[in-house]
Amino acid sequence: MNEKQQEIRKMQEMIEKWQKFLIISHRSVDGDAYGSSMALYFYLQSIGKTVEVVNELPITPFFHFLEIHNHITREIAGKKFDSIFVCDCGELRLTGEYPERYAEIFGNTPIINIDHHNRNSMFGVCNLVDTEASSTCELVYDLMENTPLSNSLLEGERAKKDNKSPLLLLGEGAGGWGGIISPQIATLLLFGIIRDTNCFKNSIHPHVFEVTSKLIALGAEYEKVIFHSYKSEKLNYLQLYGHVLENLISLKWGVIVGWILTQDIFNRYDIRENELGPQLINEILSSLEGTDFAFLVKETESGDRKLSFRARRDGIDVSRIAQYFWGGGHIQSAGAYTKASLDEILKVIEETDVKISL
């Protein structure tokens, strides 16, 4: 049994033993964080557990098609949990203010850590961390697939459908406590994989396609995910893209490019800062010739700055730049919140590029 299988086994024992779970992911939630958290949420409910998902920021319209907004809470004061799942988070502090604000909960409750970031501080009592995985959703799938269905669920499914039901791809035959991957859960997991791989352009290995294939067999709504991710851009967003291309900041002869979006610009295009996802920076970076590193600075409504960094070439570790601003992320994709001035931000980006020897 390898290390990953051991952690999955440990996690299964914890899920079986405990009843009340809290699920949290990073503060600035992306598709993989929502996909993995909500898939776990519906899965744990299906096996009779009590579950809450918490996030301090309201869900943005981009995620509304997933129909998960009524299932996310912001308030956990005075509540008790047997265990906390932290999804898609390299460090506990990236979940936002909850660990500090509810120190009595976070300090006294065992944490289960599921993640694929390269800098994970292994803060859980159980750490399913695989830096080779495309996404946390892929790992959540691995957990579910390797958990046998309970006999009663298995029989119930057999009674409803014939033996060829795709549900029985999972956990066939072994008596246990596991639940079923419903089409809704499959859609959430597929969404996370598609978002984190930027539609199968990054972090690709054979297992990603195996998992994707099984999720589609289980009823994941592939077309719906693609439509909402890549085929439904609003005109004002495309006009903002036009502004961004016109006002590109080029450093080091175009090896580094970036954009600064102030509240004035968001107002001009009638877009709220938190509605603009990483799509913009990903798309431009992946199509520009000769550019290895892109950054985006967004001014938030409270006047802070939200930073996103993306690298395309091996050897550039943008998570180090994010860490300077107390953020985190992957080697090629990282972010941070900061009160630093624009001058300081640009200076750090320019200086860091020397250290990473562009």
Instruction: Decide if residue 138 touches Mn ion (CB under 5 A).
Output: no
Q: Which of the stretches 21-29, 190-198, 238-246, 333-341 binds Mn ion when contact is defined by CB under 5 A?
A: 190-198
Q: How far is the CB of 203 from Mn ion (least distance, A)?
A: 9
> For the chain, what is the radius of gyration of the CA atoms?
21
- The residues in 55-84 that bind Mn ion, with binding defined as CB under 5 A, are none
Q: Quick one: tokens of 155?
A: 């029989």
What is the per-residue binding string for Mn ion in 81-100, x denoting contact by CB under 5 A? -------x------------
- Residues whose CB falls within 8 Å of the CB of residue 63, separated by 6 or more in sequence, listed in order: 29, 31, 34, 69
Task: State whether residue 308 is helix, strand or coil.
Answer: strand
Nearer to Mn ion, 41 or 81 (CB): 41
Of 11, 12, 32, 167, the one binding Mn ion (CB under 5 A) is 32
Q: How far is the CB of 32 from Mn ion (least distance, A)?
A: 3
Q: How far is the CB of 212 from Mn ion (least distance, A)?
A: 15
Nearer to Mn ion, 90 or 148 (CB): 90
Q: Identity (one letter) of the amino acid at 235? A: L
Nearer to Mn ion, 193 or 340 (CB): 193
Size of the site for Mn ion (CB under 5 A): 5
What letter would DSSP give residue 93?
A: G
Nearer to Mn ion, 32 or 317 (CB): 32
What letter would DSSP give residue 229?
A: H
CA dihedral 201, 60, 92, 128 (to 10 degrees): -40
- The residues in 299-318 that bind Mn ion, with binding defined as CB under 5 A, are none
Residue 354 parent element (H or E): helix 342-355
Sign (positive or negative) of CA dihedral 41, 277, 73, 27: positive
Nearer to Mn ion, 7 or 32 (CB): 32
Q: How far is the CB of 335 from Mn ion (least distance, A)?
A: 12
Of 196, 299, 317, 353, the one binding Mn ion (CB under 5 A) is 196
Q: How far is the CB of 115 from Mn ion (least distance, A)?
A: 8
Could you please report the per-residue DSSP string of 252-293?
GGGTEEEEEE-HHHHHHTT--GGG--THHHHHHHHH-TT--E
Which residue has the closest beta carbon to Mn ion? 32
Spatial CA neighbour of 28 closest among 232, 345, 346, 322: 322
The two most distant CA atoms of the chain are separated, in Å, by 66
Interface residues toward Mn ion, by CB under 5 A: 32, 88, 135-136, 196
